[in-house]
Amino acid sequence: MNLVAVLKENLTDTVVSRAAYYVDENPEKTRTALEGIVCTIVAGLMKRTTTEIGVNQLFNAIQKGKYDGSLVASFPDLLKDPEQVSRLAEAGSNSISHLLPAMKSSMGTMISSYANIKNSAAITLLGLMTPVALGTLHQLVLEKKMDADALASLLADQRDRIVENTPERLLDKMGEGLNIQQLLALGVTPAKRSATIERPVLQERPRFVPEPDEDSNGSLAKWGIGALVLVALAGGGYYIWNNTQNYSDYEETAISTDYKDSTATDSTKRLTATPVSGSATAPVSATPAAAGTATAELAAYLASPEPAGRAFKQPFLAFEKGSLTPAATTQPAITELANLLKANPRLQIQLIGYANDATLPMTNKVLSTKRVYVLKQQLIDAGVDLMRIDAVGFGTGVRYNPADTSASRKPTRREVLVKVVTK
């Protein structure tokens, strides 16, 4: 089936005009944005199903979420009430951050540029369409009695539909923004869930309303007994559940030049401790890194109550001048960072690259981007889920107006930072 076409059927003239009024944008531009968002959401969910954790997380979100067929049917009426629109957009924004971590900002920027609308409007429209997409998938899962593997196969089959239905100028932005160039070129192989994981049957919800919290002791007791039974029946399933629940919502922000420098005095000591396990309610901390290791300050920050969002300079993640060849210190530092990620299963990071040593025809922007993707691939090869790692290159990190000859020039940068997106 063509999921893109099914979702676009919801974009009636009434829906588009009400959405345009809410975000204060031209209706034609709003339709362009909404149609582009449909393609972008389907592509993002398609990518999510390339890992076993992603398959489980998406299926759980559909099963336990508040979005069902009644939401899809009532969508035009919901847009009549600004309060309902605001609530739905916020819920959808939270869902997209949960399902596609570290992508919401790039998706908003992509749609804003493509449709020539405000970035805030693009983010709001993205939040509005996400519940519709999840509600449609909820309907399909019920009607076709799908399990998680069948849902993953359905989304993997959307690759040709995405290519056929997405305008070329958006497809190029989408491939780079979502890092799915290879998936669009070669196709998608969905991950299969482990046979040991119990696959729940999706139960139909009557309507789109938040469920009341249960505060009674009896409810807590039932939850406790249920958790014990689940652990007894599927020991390995608990670890996967722990990796796929309760991702924090966050608002991605521009990278500041105010970062913490984790330069070390003793580069010979490395974090080699085996990751230790912890409770399901708090991030797991690695064995404290020795002073002087590449991740020592980063590990200390993860163990602190300070909120996520800081970026740390990583001088050990370096490259030979003008090339994509990692320096001798890079592989040990990658091993440390991989261990830290494995020891903190909720940790999501963004690799931020700067370069000032490119030689023509390559630009510093391209060189910095390629370098952080080299590092990302090394972390993936070390066993880290690719969805936990975002990567972006900013060239020299210096922007200036050539016409302003009086402006002071900031020094260019050649370095790699690790930003903590979620602790």
Instruction: Quickly list DSSP for 287-322.
Output: SPPPTTSTTHHHHHHHHSSPPS--EEE-TTS-B-TT
For residue 394, give Cα distances in angstroms to 2, 186, 365, 366, 423. Answer: 36, 28, 6, 9, 24
Could you tell me the strand order of the sheet in which 260-261 lies? 260-261, 311-313, 415-422, 348-354, 389-393
**What pLDDT, on the 0 to 100 scale, is given for residue 49?**
85
- Report the C-alpha gap between 33 and 115 in whole angstroms: 5
- Report the C-alpha gap between 7 and 171 in whole angstroms: 18
Among residues 372, 408, 397, the alpha carbon closest in space to that of 102 is found at 372
Average pLDDT, integer, range 402-410:
61
- pTM, two decimals, is 0.49
Contacts of 249 (CB under 8 A, 6+ apart): 93, 94, 97, 98
Q: Is the dihedral of CA 44, 49, 50, 52 positive or negative?
A: positive
Provide the residue type at 347 as one letter.
L
Average pLDDT, integer, range 133-160:
90
Judged against a pLDDT cut of 70, whether residue 28 lies above it is answered with: yes
**What pLDDT, on the 0 to 100 scale, is given for residue 284?**
37
Instruction: Quickly list DSSP for 366-417.
Output: HHHHHHHHHHHHHHHHTT--GGGEEEEE-TTS----TT-TTSPPPPP--EEE
- For tokens 């990190």, what's the residue? 397
- Report the C-alpha gap between 391 and 405 in whole angstroms: 33
- Condensed to tens digits (0 to 9), the pLDDT of residues 254-283 reads 333 334 444 333 332 333 333 333 333 333
For residue 282, give Cα distances in angstroms to 241, 246, 415. Answer: 14, 10, 32
Instruction: Kindly report the average pLDDT of the chain as a whole number.
Output: 77
Q: What's phi and psi for 109, nearest 5 deg?
A: -65, -40
Judged against a pLDDT cut of 80, whether residue 238 lies above it is answered with: no
Class (C level, CATH) for 260-422: alpha beta
99-103, 157-161, 351-355: range with lowest mean pLDDT: 99-103
- How does DSSP classify residue 192? P
**What pLDDT, on the 0 to 100 scale, is given for residue 407?**
54
- Polymer length in residues for the chain: 423
Asked whether the bond before 402 is cis by omega within 30 degrees of 0, the reply is no
**What pLDDT, on the 0 to 100 scale, is given for residue 401?**
58
Domains in the chain: boundaries:
3-186, 260-422
Contacts of 170 (CB under 8 A, 6+ apart): 36, 39, 40, 110, 114
Among residues 197, 240, 273, the alpha carbon closest in space to that of 385 is found at 240
Judged against a pLDDT cut of 70, whether residue 240 lies above it is answered with: no
Q: What angle do CA 97, 103, 108 make, to 5 degrees?
A: 95
> Is there a contact between 5 and 161 (Cβ–Cβ < 8 Å)?
yes
- How does DSSP classify residue 326? B
Provide the residue type at 75 as one letter.
F
- For tokens 């944005």, what's the residue? 33
Instruction: Quickly list DSSP for 55-122.
Output: HHHHHHHHHHSS--HHHHHHHHHHTT-HHHHHHHHHHHHHHHHHHSTTTHHHHHHHHHHHHT--HHHH
**What pLDDT, on the 0 to 100 scale, is given for residue 116?**
94
